[in-house]
Amino acid sequence: MELKLKVALVTGGASGLGEATVRKVVALGGKAVIFDLDEGRGQKLVEELGDTVLFVKGDVTKEEDVSAAVEAACAKFGGIHLVVNCAGIAIAQKVLSKHGIHALESFNKVIQVNLSGTFNVIRLAAAKMINNEPNQHGERGVIINTASIAAFEGQIGQVAYSASKGGVVGMTLPLAREFAAYGIRVVTIVPGIFETPMFDQLPEAAKQALGAMVPFPSRLGYPEEYALLVQSIVENPMLNGTYIRLDGAIRMQPK
């Protein structure tokens, strides 16, 4: 599927991996709906990119917010052909520590946003995608989710985050199998350590130390490299039902 004249719904699209994806879609002649809680950054992108993008403020865990974003995409641009789920949160908390036992509330929140939120967007967007006219390959849409290498090499303190991202990886194949009947592909990107707002507060020396952990290239990943993989997945019809590590060959240590 080509991105030209296609419509993408990008969660977490106001910054980081999501912002890079929005920019890539627009650069390739597509249109994008930025679904995010950060209204300031979202509106700034709209001002910069013009009428090829639309910002909708909302929470991926709320059915009414996601439904509003889906309906807005269809009303302004005529449908949805691509979903890229980038919205997510992370915490660092041991199960047993000097601060006490891991709070169930914080564990549930990470699962709710990263896993349930991703599924919430998928189910509501897919219900619209099935009405698209198929292209020459029989495709009606593509859904791309974002996991993390923590799904496979979770570090101490990442139990909630790893569980949520492992769930995203785990639902990729059953979704692809179900949606195959509609010509909708599902792929999950598994990023390593990337330059995102999560690392904005770190000093440069700390960023370089993290980057040095990556075999090659020995640096943090650039959001544009994530967006480049999004493009590759969209354009290659045989990529389906799988996950792709984008990590410079890093394998995380216990801590």
Range of the domain at 70: 7-246
43 with 55: CB under 8 angstroms?
yes
More confident residue, 202 or 243: 243
Predicted local distance difference test score (pLDDT) of residue 207: 78
Q: What does the pLDDT average to over 166-171?
A: 98
* SS3 of residue 237 by DSSP: coil
- Residue 112: DSSP 8-state: I
- Which residue pairs from 206-212 have beta carbons closer than 8 angstroms and sit at least 24 positions apart in sequence? none
Query: Which pTM was predicted?
Result: 0.96
Q: 3-state DSSP call for residue 95?
A: coil
Q: What is the mean pLDDT of the segment spanning 181-187? A: 98
CATH of the domain at 71: 3.40.50.720
Of 29, 12, 19, give the one whose Cα is nearest residue 234.
29
Structure token digits, residue 8 = 């993408």
User: What is d(CA 146, CA 21) in angstroms, rounded to the nearest whole number?
Assistant: 12
Instruction: Supply the pLDDT for residue 198.
Output: 74
DSSP 24: H
Residue 148 resides in a domain = yes
Distances 200 to 129, 148, 197, 204 between C-alpha atoms, Å: 36, 19, 5, 9
Residue 77 inside a domain? The answer is: yes
The identity of residue 16, as a single letter, is G
State the catalytic residues: 161
Q: Is the pLDDT of residue 205 over 90?
A: no
Cβ atoms of 149 and 189 closer than 8 Å: no
Structural domain contains residue 252? no
pLDDT on residue 201: 67
Domains of the chain: total:
1
Average the pLDDT over 148-169 and give the result. 97
Domain membership of residue 214 (yes or no) is yes
Cα gap 12→54, rounded to integer Å: 13
Q: Does residue 36 belong to any structural domain of this protein?
A: yes
Asked if residue 210 has pLDDT above 90, the reply is: no
Residue 190 resides in a domain: yes
Q: Give CA 119 to chain center in angstroms.
A: 12
